[in-house]
Amino acid sequence: MQGACVFRYDYPVLIMYKEIEKNRVLFIIYANNTLKYNYITCKQLTNLIPVDSIHILTKLPYYNELHLTLRFWKIMAYNKLKNKINLIL
């Protein structure tokens, strides 16, 4: 279980997640210029992702060092969203 999705609350929200062990998911949420992360269960993840979210990534790398993982996920999400915007324009 891994991926990234976006949705609009009062502001745009980006959620990224990857199951790194059985029933242990690295969960990252970026909203309102704030990044938060936590380790949650698969059940919690299904309750946190809105039904109307748009999934933009389905595969994410994982590194043992959190700062590397966050850096690469950020780059991947940025590039994917940038490409989608260019297709719309």
Q: What is the mean pLDDT of each run of 10 residues along the chain (89 residues)?
A: 92 95 96 94 95 94 94 94 70
Query: Which secondary-structure segment (H or E) carries 86?
Result: helix 66-88
Contact partners, residue 25, CB within 8 Å, separation at least 6: 1, 17, 18, 19, 39, 40, 41, 42, 44, 45
| pLDDT of res. 83 | 83
The residue behind tokens 């595969």 is 59
Task: Report the predicted TM-score, pTM, of the whole model to 2 decimal places.
Answer: 0.89
Distance CA 42, CA 72 (A): 22
| pLDDT of res. 9 | 85
| pLDDT of res. 84 | 73
| pLDDT of res. 37 | 96
